[in-house]
Amino acid sequence: MTTYRKVVYLDADTVVVKSIEDLFNCGKFCANLKHSERMNSGVMVVEPSETLFKDMMSKVDSLPSYTGGDQGFLNSYYAEFANSRVFDPNKPLTPEPETQRLSTLYNADVGLYMLANKWMVDEKELRVIHYTLGPLKPWDWWTAWLVKPVAVWQDVRQNLEESLPGTGGGKNPHDQLVVKILFILPFCMLLCGYYGSCFQTNKELLSMRTLCAFARQARYKYKSEEALPSYSTVGVASSSFGISNQKLSTGAHLKLPSYFGAIAVVVCFICALISLAFAFLVIPRQVMPWTGLLLMFEWTFVTFFLLFGGYLRFVYKWGSFSANHAGYGSLDSSENHTGTGHQGNTSDCDTASAFYWMGMATISTIAPLSPTVLGITA
């Protein structure tokens, strides 16, 4: 490196938004001062020197490092750095100083931006933005929805030229394939689950005629003044809860346990947490922000639907077993079939539940996106 007169070092979590050529006119060692007295090594200007390197290596074991790395060591090595003069590209100093401080323009800390939701300097004059927040790095898709300056990073990323096949615009061919699979797979899972739970296994109900009959029933139900009875295979429809008020053959009443509601709430929250964690786990971190958000909603909803639906199915089977064990006979056969006239031949699908799930999915998608759509920021 001694063949170079000056070297400008930039951390991987920085992005240059304006020319920084004037940094080559800085002193022998230049960096930005943060937190009043600490030097930040994210953006540095150094003058390669073999003598200086050997001196640093001789002291690397004796000088303390508050970070355990290079930044802490450099703060100890340049103990008087806080007293250095601020670098002014329009007023070069002669002779060239040993150390100089860089202004915030050359190392704009996103952490400081978050304190006031604005830059402390003129945004048009910024040279380098530094994304210092540990868990919120700009290459992670979720950061764009939490930190506004990440939009600058994403703009630069999308304008990147193709260095390898399929890498233009900051794309990753492997991630693109994974995204396509992740986008299609939940729909296939829901389709299979819905098809298996809503329709009986005999050939008659799998016929096109029965599907049309089900569609006519759904249409009639929401247009007719007289509501049609609906039944759910998971046992949460109104007709299922009606069992609790009926008498068993022995004369006793069949009721839901008093703790059932509390358990259902706990299971619901556990399913939601597992769904969120699983969605974060399967979605590639470096996809585009909109892609990550859509996949997050998709996989969270589908995972929750399957987990909580499985719990409800278990409750239904457990209730059926308890009722049969207690001597309660099956419901009248007329309850398992629709009437005549407009009702026709129907399946066990609970259309009200289906529309409820679709409505909740729509609300859960629109609500978090409202601030972004309306242009509201924190």
> How many C-beta atoms lie closer than 10 Å to residue 47's C-beta?
18
367 within some domain: yes
Quick one: tokens of 375? Answer: 């242009």
307 within some domain: yes
Given the structure tokens 């995204």, which residue do they identify? 179
Q: What is the pLDDT of residue 163?
A: 75
Domain final residue, candidates 158, 176, 209: 158
Instruction: Name the residue range of residue 254's domain.
Output: 192-198+230-337+348-373
214: pLDDT strictly greater than 80: no
203: pLDDT strictly greater than 70: no
In which band, very low, low, confident or very high, does the pLDDT at 202 lie, cut at 50, 70 and 90?
very low
Straight-line distance from the first to the last Cα atom of the chain, in angstroms, rounded to the nearest whole number: 45
> How many C-beta atoms lie closer than 10 Å to residue 99's C-beta?
19
Report pLDDT digits (tens) over 247-293: 444 444 556 677 777 888 888 899 989 999 999 999 998 888 888 88
69: pLDDT strictly greater than 70: yes
Percentage of the chain modeled with pLDDT above 90: 20
220 within some domain: no
Q: What are the residues facing 234 on neighbouring strands? A: none
Q: What is the pLDDT of residue 374?
A: 59
Quick one: tokens of 112? Answer: 């400081």
Per DSSP bridges, beta strands 29-34 and 99-102 are parallel
Residue 361 buriedness (CB in 10 A; 0-12 / 13-18 / 19+): middle
Residues 122 and 234 grouped into a single domain: no
Rounded distance between C-alpha atoms, residue 31 and residue 118, angstroms: 23
Rounded distance between C-alpha atoms, residue 177 and residue 302, angstroms: 20
Residues 153 and 234 grouped into a single domain: no
Q: What is the pLDDT of residue 235?
A: 42
Q: What is the pLDDT of residue 53?
A: 92
In which band, very low, low, confident or very high, does the pLDDT at 134 lie, cut at 50, 70 and 90?
confident
Number of structural domains in the chain: 2
Rounded distance between C-alpha atoms, residue 116 and residue 146, angstroms: 14
Domain final residue, candidates 108, 138, 158: 158
Q: Name the maximum alpha-carbon separation found in the chain.
A: 104
- pLDDT, the chain, mean: 76
Q: What's the CATH code of the domain at 42? A: 3.90.550.10
Q: ∠ at Cα 173 (171, 179), nearest 5°?
A: 85
218 within some domain: no
Residues 149 and 38 grouped into a single domain: yes
Q: What is the pLDDT of residue 196?
A: 62
CB distance 130 to 42 below 8 Å: yes
186 within some domain: no
In which band, very low, low, confident or very high, does the pLDDT at 51 lie, cut at 50, 70 and 90?
very high
Report pLDDT digits (tens) over 304-358: 888 888 888 888 888 888 778 766 554 444 444 444 444 444 444 455 555 656 6
178 within some domain: no
Specify the DSSP element, H or E, that contains 7.
strand 7-10
283 within some domain: yes
Residues 238 and 144 grouped into a single domain: no
Percentage of the chain modeled with pLDDT above 70: 67
Residues 146 and 12 grouped into a single domain: yes
Q: ∠ at Cα 11 (54, 73), nearest 5°?
A: 35
Predicted TM-score (pTM) of this structure: 0.67
Residues 150 and 290 grouped into a single domain: no
199: pLDDT strictly greater than 70: no
CB distance 231 to 239 below 8 Å: yes
14: pLDDT strictly greater than 50: yes
**DSSP letter string over 284-327?**
-TTS-HHHHHHHHHHHHHHHHHHHHHHHHHHHHHHHHHHHHHTT
3-state secondary structure of 371: helix
Q: What is the pLDDT of residue 132?
A: 87
Residues 18 and 146 grouped into a single domain: yes
**DSSP letter string over 131-170?**
---TT--TTSGGGGGT-TTHHHHHHHHHT---SSTT-GGG
Sign, CA torsion 336/341/342/345? positive
Report pLDDT digits (tens) over 359-372: 666 666 666 666 55
CB distance 150 to 288 below 8 Å: no
Residues 245 and 356 grouped into a single domain: yes
**293 Cβ contact list (under 8 Å, min separation 6):** 141, 142, 145
Residues 152 and 263 grouped into a single domain: no
Question: What is the total residue count of the chain?
Answer: 378
**253 Cβ contact list (under 8 Å, min separation 6):** 244, 245, 246, 247
Q: What is the pLDDT of residue 311?
A: 87
In which band, very low, low, confident or very high, does the pLDDT at 233 lie, cut at 50, 70 and 90?
very low
177 within some domain: no
Report pLDDT digits (tens) over 76-123: 999 889 888 999 888 877 788 889 999 999 999 888 888 777 888 888
Residues 44 and 135 grouped into a single domain: yes
3-state secondary structure of 129: strand
Residues 137 and 274 grouped into a single domain: no
Residues 26 and 137 grouped into a single domain: yes
- When comparing pLDDT for 370 and 54, which is higher? 54
Specify the DSSP element, H or E, that contains 364.
helix 351-373
